[in-house]
Chain A
Amino acid sequence: MRVRTVAVATTAVGALLLTGCSGGQSSGSSDTLSWSMWIGSSEDQKVWEGVGNTGAEASGKKVSLQGSPFNDYWTKISTQLGTSAAPCIVTMQSLRVNQFSEGLLPLDDLIKSTGFDTAAFDEGAMKALAVDGKQYAIPYDTGPLLLFYNKDAFAKAGVDAPKPGWTVNDFETAATALKKNGQVALATTVEDIFLEGTILSTGGAKMIDDSGKVSLDDPKTAQAIEWIAGLVKDGTATKADGADASADDNAFINGTAAATVGGPWNSLDFKAKAKFDVGVTTIPSPQGEQKTYSAGSGFGISKTCSDPTAAFKAITAMTSEKTLTSLAKDGRAFPARTAAQAAWYENAGIDGAKETLDSALASAVPLPGSSDGDKLNQMLSQYGPQMVNGEKPAAGVLAEISRQIGK
């Protein structure tokens, strides 16, 4: 009997251990609020931990930061939301909120009951994080898409510093002058937000319509892409790399290309890494009329969070004027809270940044989110380089992407 007891006991202990393994931590243990955030470097980690501490102080709970690189973040959060493994506080990007809204708690009741002042935030930034009239996150940053350029390379090629509102023709003239000087003008990309931004500004075309549907059959979209492909063929733009989302940033930072499309959130990284003077202007448009997308990010609460009230207290502190001013001073994020925006301008360290941002913001429209947003991004990384690099006609590639997304 003793042997049988040993066998049964071993099995039982094994089962117990394995059950223990599979349990995992639920999102709202009694004294901790888990918070998921995309983190790109140890500097990022430090800054966001500081933000987490403000949330901890306000909520009286420990805020534990779970970081992952931007692209992996979306894969991870999609497996977590809707399960007990979901973090309590979820960082959300405006163009992806539609896709994840089912796993997020609408914040409207909490906003009402706590008297949270939404009017202190940029209206567009707030709206960008709402779906069907329900607010799913409180924004911490926002910003229009802009064109960062290498002031030294422009000066060396004898090109005047571009002013906000410059035209596609102005850009082409500058690109030709840069090429004569052995300098590629533009770093291209197929990453959704930046490609969509470039296409809206230079060609007036939208890849996602205002209702959030991916819509690629507008001939203007194909034309705008053919324009980029022309630059690539001409040798005035780098080839887009679908497998490396940071290829365009790297090409700009290491001086291979003299300009790249980015948001205010890129400025700190560009300024810190580039060994040249960084300038910023608007993305060129056909007639100098301004058109650009704005996008931002904020903090939401998962549906499975066991203590949404504490989580909202934490979020309130994490988006407070004090916190956002401090993030702005670091150049980390262009604040969604209007009162904190001055600090960003003062500390951006880029001449003309305020003029450019004011000019771009005046005409910026929120980049619409889509429930097919990640699909589009995946398809762009696979198929995008063929059209942007001019290897296949844009219209055909766009039709193939539509077919794959639509099925």
Chain B
Amino acid sequence: MAHVSAREVTAAAAPKDHRPGGRRRGWSGAWGVGFAAPHALGLALFTLVPIGIALAMSLHDWPMIGSPSWIGFENYRQLISDPAFRTALTNTLLFVVLYVPLNLVVSLGMAAWLSPKIRHRQIFRVIFFLPTVTPIVANAVVWRMLYQPNGAIDATAQSFFGIKLPDFLADPHWAMIAIVIMSVWQGFGYNMIVFSSALDSVPESQLEAASLDGANAWTVFWRIKLPLISPSLFFATTMTLITSFQVFIQPYIMTRGGPGDSTVTLVQFIYNQGFTFQKLGLASAAAWVLFVIILGVTAVQFLGQKKWVHYE
């Protein structure tokens, strides 16, 4: 009912009122506020308010049970001087540096391979997308078993090549690499679908024109297709970077941060400080540091996009 009357109102108001910013805009503005309100309230209550509360908590010594006390920037000072925090930061950066390029290369490569010329490409798409839609905890548990000594990977290497592989998750040099590989397997399907549909929408006429001009497949891909799908590349890079800074479940399930502290990531550091060490203030401060890092990296990407992203 409300919807019908809105249209009536707008239709009736339109011919009478031609002033910009006049009565009509005010009316539809009210409707806009009405429709946006549930989302805006949700955003405010479940995102903005918690972010604000976390900021307030980060300035307190806030135990899980008991009363908080104001300590100013002491939590931040403690973080800077804490080697465990620096290790978590380094581990997270290592994960991001390894994971993001690998994810993009694999997903773009698979998307390029899955061109419309491939038979049954829809089936392949579904298969490659499956890990993304299966619960990550279940995937991590399965990969834990695969990585174990005498697990599927080690057993295969032994029987085919006679090589005993390292105990991936118990070896500080291998644990992070093992987690990155598992994460790429888990996550590349999403970007692959994004790239695949972007590649499909590249106009046939431009590809034809390029090949008439004598461009080979590599040049077509590099000079025509990539610039044309650059908005998708930008989207995928931004989202993948954001989520990779938040990596938690894979190391939590596969190594608990071990061996030693070699796979403790920032989010696990936050989780440990908050829920195991019961220092909610310190955990909130670390969460704010992570938030600022992600915000900064995303801002740099948005600034940089002018140079390489073409919206046409």
Chain A residues near B (Cβ < 8 Å): 2-4, 6-11, 14-15, 17-18, 22, 75, 78-79, 81-82, 99-100, 102-103, 239, 242-244, 374-375, 377-378, 381-383, 385-386, 389, 391, 400, 404, 407
Q: Assess whether B277 is interfacial by the CB under 8 Å rule.
A: yes
Q: Assess whether B105 is interfacial by the CB under 8 Å rule.
A: no
Complex partner residue of B276 from A18, A100, A378, A383, CB under 8 angstroms? A378
Instruction: Give the Cβ gap from B138 to chain A, nearest Cβ, in Å.
Output: 15
Q: How far is the CA of A7 from the CA of B41 in the complex (A)?
A: 13
Residues of chain A within 8 A of B82, CB atoms compared: 407
Q: Is the CB of B65 within 8 A of A14?
A: no
Chain B: residues with Cβ within 8 Å of the partner, total of 40
> What would 29 A/B residue contacts be, using CB atoms closer than 8 Å?
A3-B6, A6-B2, A6-B34, A7-B30, A7-B31, A7-B34, A8-B34, A11-B33, A14-B41, A22-B45, A79-B64, A79-B275, A82-B66, A100-B65, A239-B149, A242-B256, A242-B258, A243-B253, A243-B254, A374-B277, A374-B278, A378-B276, A378-B277, A381-B256, A381-B258, A383-B260, A385-B259, A386-B258, A391-B170
Q: Assess whether B35 is interfacial by the CB under 8 Å rule.
A: yes
Instruction: Give the Cβ gap from A352 to chain B, nearest Cβ, in Å.
Output: 34
Complex partner residue of A385 from B30, B33, B170, B261, CB under 8 angstroms? B170
Q: Which 4 A-B pairs have the closest CB atoms?
A: A7-B34, A82-B65, A11-B37, A382-B258
Complex partner residue of B255 from A18, A102, A242, A378, CB under 8 angstroms? A242
Q: Is the CB of B37 within 8 A of A82?
A: no
Q: Is the CB of A10 within 8 A of B260?
A: no
Residues of chain A within 8 A of B2, CB atoms compared: 6
Complex partner residue of A10 from B35, B169, B275, CB under 8 angstroms? B35
Q: Assess whether B225 is interfacial by the CB under 8 Å rule.
A: no
Residues of chain A within 8 A of B170, CB atoms compared: 239, 385, 389, 391
Complex partner residue of B38 from A6, A14, A383, A407, CB under 8 angstroms? A14
Tell me the total A-B contact number using a CB cutoff of 8 A.
107
Residues of chain A within 8 A of B60, CB atoms compared: none
Q: Is the CB of A378 within 8 A of B272?
A: yes
Residues of chain A within 8 A of B130, CB atoms compared: none
Q: How far is the CA of A273 from the CA of B35 in the complex (A)?
A: 57
Per-residue contact bits, chain B 1-22, to A (CB 8 Å; 1 contact, 0 not): 0100110010000000000000
Q: Is the CB of A18 within 8 A of B45?
A: yes
Q: Is the CB of A103 within 8 A of B5?
A: no
Residues of chain B within 8 A of A404, CB atoms compared: 84
Complex partner residue of B9 from A3, A22, A391, CB under 8 angstroms? A3
Instruction: Give the Cβ gap from B90 to chain A, nearest Cβ, in Å.
Output: 16
Per-residue contact bits, chain B 236-271, to A (CB 8 Å; 1 contact, 0 not): 000000000000000001111111110010000000
Q: Is the CB of A10 within 8 A of B276?
A: no
Q: Is the CB of B37 within 8 A of A10?
A: yes
Instruction: Give the Cβ gap from B260 to chain A, nearest Cβ, in Å.
Output: 6
Residues of chain B within 8 A of A374, CB atoms compared: 276-278
Q: How far is the CA of A3 from the CA of B253 in the complex (A)?
A: 52
Q: Is the CB of A102 within 8 A of B66?
A: yes
Q: Is the CB of B33 within 8 A of A18?
A: no
Residues of chain B within 8 A of A79, CB atoms compared: 64, 275
Q: Which residue of chain B has its CB nearest to the CB of A400?
A: B260
Residues of chain B within 8 A of A407, CB atoms compared: 82, 84
Instruction: Give the Cβ gap from B218 to chain A, nearest Cβ, in Å.
Output: 44
Residues of chain B within 8 A of A383, CB atoms compared: 258-261
Instruction: Give the Cβ gap from A305 to chain B, nearest Cβ, in Å.
Output: 14
Residues of chain A within 8 A of B254, CB atoms compared: 243
Q: Which residue of chain B has its CB nearest to the CB of A14?
A: B38
Q: How far is the CA of A303 from the CA of B120 in the complex (A)?
A: 62
Complex partner residue of B258 from A3, A75, A243, A375, CB under 8 angstroms? A243
Residues of chain A within 8 A of B116, CB atoms compared: none
Residues of chain B within 8 A of A375, CB atoms compared: 276-277
Instruction: Give the Cβ gap from B192 to chain A, nearest Cβ, in Å.
Output: 29
Q: Is the CB of A7 within 8 A of B258?
A: no
Complex partner residue of A386 from B256, B259, B276, CB under 8 angstroms? B259
Q: How far is the CA of A404 from the CA of B257 in the complex (A)?
A: 14
Whether A18 touches B259, Cβ cut-off 8 Å, given contacts A4-B30, A6-B2, is: no
Q: Which residue of chain B has its CB nearest to the CB of A373?
A: B276
Residues of chain A within 8 A of B256, CB atoms compared: 242-243, 378, 381-382
Q: How far is the CA of A7 from the CA of B42 in the complex (A)?
A: 16
Instruction: Give the Cβ gap from B145 to chain A, nearest Cβ, in Å.
Output: 10
Q: Which residue of chain A has its CB nearest to the CB of B140?
A: A243
Residues of chain B within 8 A of A99, CB atoms compared: 278
Q: Which residue of chain B has its CB nearest to the CB of A3?
A: B30
Complex partner residue of B64 from A3, A4, A82, A382, CB under 8 angstroms? A82
Whether A7 touches B259, Cβ cut-off 8 Å, given contacts A79-B64, A243-B169, is: no
